Structure 1
Amino acid sequence: MERVTRRRRRAAVVVAGLVAAVAGSVWFEPWALWVDETVNEALPSASATPRGPTTDEPSSASPVPVPSGPVTVARGTFVSHEHATTGVVRIVRLADGTHTLRIEGLDTSNGPDLHVRLSDAPVKEGKAGWDVFDDGRHVDLAELKGNKGDQNYPLPAGFDWSAYPSVSIWCDRFDVSFGAAALTRT
């Protein structure tokens, strides 16, 4: 009888260990550290439609000039936090007046539940900057498309991006910044 009880205990310990290993793997996603996702998006273009007369009749009013291409209005360089992170981030005003957050040359670790986050928190180098991007005001733009390359994140119409002077590659699962950049107007 004692022998059967020991076997059941061992079996229960083995089953509990397997359940813990599977649950830990699902939560931590350790394979993401060895799998890179590269994204290489071109800068979006918006067709500029000049504003002016809509009839064939001549008008003395001049059309309102529209920028012919994208203009960088702010930029920053990533600093590393929890994981080594390099690259440049820009806020780009397109010809139609919309804004896009563009990340170029990104190189960071992959991980679970990574997001691009705008924040009003200051960018601090090293460990001091790991967890500040959820303390104040912040906006989660989207899930990070890839941990390497060039990618675009359109900003919502009417969004005041200047109220959020920093960008973080944020791991929502563990509430930590992989890297961040302070935006400076150009």
Structure 2
Amino acid sequence: MLKRLFSGPVGWALTAVVVAGVLFGGYWFQPWKLVTDDVVDESVPVVQAPAPTPDATPSPDATPDATPSPEASPSVSPSPAGNQLLASGEFVTHEHETTGTAQVIQLGDGRRQLVLRDFATSNGPDLRVWLSDQPVLEGQAGWFVFDDGQWAELDRLKGNQGNQVYDIPADVDLAELTSVSIWCKRFSVSFGAADLTA
């Protein structure tokens, strides 16, 4: 029966339809990504911690008119060339288990970057890194919300595992976009997300 079905002109047409369906399904779902990992390990910026504020209480041995030398004065703020941590948050799992830390860092030259540290999620088709104005909700309630409001796409996800860095364009308003999602653009679903808290 099958031999007769796939023979002759009708058979060739059916064969072509089946092959096209298999190729399209492979392209659309990319099932091999479920069993493969793309690992990256980019150099991430170091955040300079502010120096501790010196104790303002004078020492009992200090004389009232003694002036400390410039060399003895401790610094109370980061160097202008230092990097500053603006916001951070831990990833929560949405459609796929996702772990790691997201950080927004302002570099000494004024540029801003999103850093994913110790990051891990499942591989998948058409994954993007989005900043969004949507709150991060636990569980299935948070899977589909990130394209509901404002969002900015930083780039394709470089890898589903490892440390990675994404530049944030100067026109992105971080006061409005306060969460990050690993967004599967093909199926409009979040793999995982993190609130970015100052």
Aligned-pair CA distance for 1:11: 4.2
Aligned-pair CA distance for 1:69: 2.1
Match of 1:36 in 2: 37
- 2:30 and 2:140 map into 1 onto residues whose CA distance is 23
Structure 1 residue 24 and structure 2 residue 25: aligned?
yes
Task: Please list the CA deviations of residues 50-85 of structure 1 after superposition, one character each: whole Å capped at 9, or x if unmatched.
Answer: xxxxxxxxxxxxxxx853422211001100111100
SS of 2:7's partner is helix
What's the RMSD between the two structures over aligned residues? Answer: 2.0
- 1:24 and 1:162 map into 2 onto residues whose CA distance is 40
Match of 1:105 in 2: 118
Match of 1:127 in 2: 140
- 1:147 and 1:4 map into 2 onto residues whose CA distance is 47
Match of 2:53 in 1: none
Aligned-pair CA distance for 1:7: 2.8
User: Residues 4, 33 of structure 1: CA spacing in aligned structure 2 closer, same or farther, 3 A cutoff?
Assistant: closer
User: Residues 67, 130 of structure 1: CA spacing in aligned structure 2 closer, same or farther, 3 A cutoff?
Assistant: same
Q: Detail structure 1 runs of 4+ shifted over 6 Å in the superposition.
A: 3-6
Choose the corresponding residue for 2:128, options 106, 115, 130: 115
Aligned-pair CA distance for 1:19: 1.5
Match of 2:183 in 1: 170
- 1:152 and 1:128 map into 2 onto residues whose CA distance is 28
Q: Which amino acid in the other structure matches residue 101 of structure 2?
A: V
Match of 1:12 in 2: 13
| Number of positions where the alignment pairs a residue of Structure 1 with one of Structure 2 | 164
Aligned-pair CA distance for 1:13: 2.9
User: Residues 89, 13 of structure 1: CA spacing in aligned structure 2 closer, same or farther, 3 A cutoff?
Assistant: same
- 1:32 and 1:6 map into 2 onto residues whose CA distance is 32
SS of 1:162's partner is coil
Identity of aligned residues (%): 48
Choose the corresponding residue for 2:194, options 172, 181, 184: 181
Unaligned runs of 5+ in 1: 46-64
Output the TM-score relative to the length of structure 1: 0.81
Task: Please list the CA deviations of residues 139-169 of structure 1 after superposition, one character each: whole Å capped at 9, or x if unmatched.
Answer: 0111111100011111112432121111000
Q: Which amino acid in the other structure matches residue 169 of structure 2?
A: P
Choose the corresponding residue for 2:154, options 138, 141, 152: 141
Q: More strand per residue: 1 or 2?
A: 1
Aligned-pair CA distance for 1:131: 0.6
8 Å contact kept, 2:128–2:182: yes
Higher radius of gyration, 1 or 2: 2
Choose the corresponding residue for 1:90, options 93, 98, 103: 103
SS of 2:163's partner is strand
- 1:5 and 1:182 map into 2 onto residues whose CA distance is 56
Task: Please list the CA deviations of residues 113-159 of structure 1 after superposition, one character each: whole Å capped at 9, or x if unmatched.
Answer: 11100000111111111110000000011111110001111111243
Q: Which amino acid in the other structure matches residue 7 of structure 1?
A: S
Q: Which moved more, 1:89-98 or 1:4-13?
A: 4-13
Match of 2:85 in 1: 72
SS of 2:194's partner is strand
Match of 1:160 in 2: 173
